[in-house]
Structure formats: C-alpha cells, structure tokens
Amino acid sequence: MLKRPRRNRKSEAIRSLVQETQLSAADFVAPLFVTDGPTEAIKNMPGILRYSGSDLIRHAEHLVSLGIQAIALFPCIDPSNKDELGSYAIRPDGLIPKTIRLLKETLPDLCIIADVALDPYTTHGHDGLLQGADVHNDLSVEVLAKQALVLAQSGADIIAPSDMMDG
C-alpha cells in the first residue's frame, strides 16, 4: 500500500514542525574562558584560549561577525582571590561581573550566559561550601543565589546554574 503523508504538509505550522533540522551559527553558544591575567593557551584544549581584556572583546566581535549571537563565560580565577567560602564569586567588582559589563558596553546585543558555580572560586575546588568533610548545602545555596543576583545585576542575559545543590 502506498503512503502519501499529505497531512504533514497541509499547513505551514505542521510543515515547520516536521521539517529537517536546520542549524546556523545563530543556534550555537560559544564558550569563552576568561582570566584576569594575560591571554593564554589552555594546554589541555588545543586551539582554545583563556581571554583577557581587549583580546576578549576582539574575539567576541569576531564571533558576532560569524553570526554567533550568544556566549557562555567561564572564569579562571587567580588563586589569590580564592577562599574556603568562594567569596570572590559574589563581588560585583569580580572578574565575571566586570567582563559582563565590558562586553555589554561593546556588544549590547550579544547574549551573555553566566555560569553559577563555586568551584572556580573555592580553594578546595568543590562546587559546594564545606563544613568539615561535608557539603553545607544551605549556606552553599545562599551564596549561589547571591552570585546569580550579582551576575544578573551586571547584565547577564541568562543565568546558568551548573552548580546544582538542590537537585
């Protein structure tokens, strides 16, 4: 028996739902690694850099020229700014809030996704704050909420909670 699925072509809405996937540069999010120090190569990721200052802006402008409309920021925090409580994560003058403001001044239409996580900011490298050998869940969530607020107030368009303390 022949099958003629004309029902899948009877309206524009149905045709758009069942058509092949079409991807363009505008569908991608470029991850950008950010540092307070000089721009440097990431040894374990060939061809990928940690960007600083004007190099970051130039690279973001290049991405926009290619049609990429969104970036996700990931920090590389100087060890001198790390502590047991990840307090640098909630400073409005910290690396990522400063970077967001700089990018928004230069590229106001660029969608900026900011990662909410404590592991880059703690000396122990854990996503949660520790109380002895255990994660102090409630305090971790409190600090993460403050971090999200600082990132949003800095101009982040999307807050990405990769540090999942409450599931």
The string of DSSP letters for 31-83 reads: EEEEESS--EE-TTSTT-EEE-HHHHHHHHHHHHHTT--EEEEEEE--GGG-B
pTM: 0.87
Using CA atoms, how far apart are residues 6 and 10, in angstroms rounded to an integer?
A: 6
Between 3.40.50.300, 3.40.50.11900, 3.20.20.70, 3.50.50.60, what CATH number should domain 26-160 receive? 3.20.20.70
Kindly indicate the confidence band of residue 7, based on its pLDDT and cuts at 50, 70 and 90.
Answer: confident
Helix (H, G, I), strand (E, B) or coil at 97: helix
For the chain, the domains span 26-160
Q: What value does the mean pLDDT take over residues 116-136?
A: 93
A 10 A CB-CB count for 48 gives 13
Determine the pLDDT at residue 167: 63
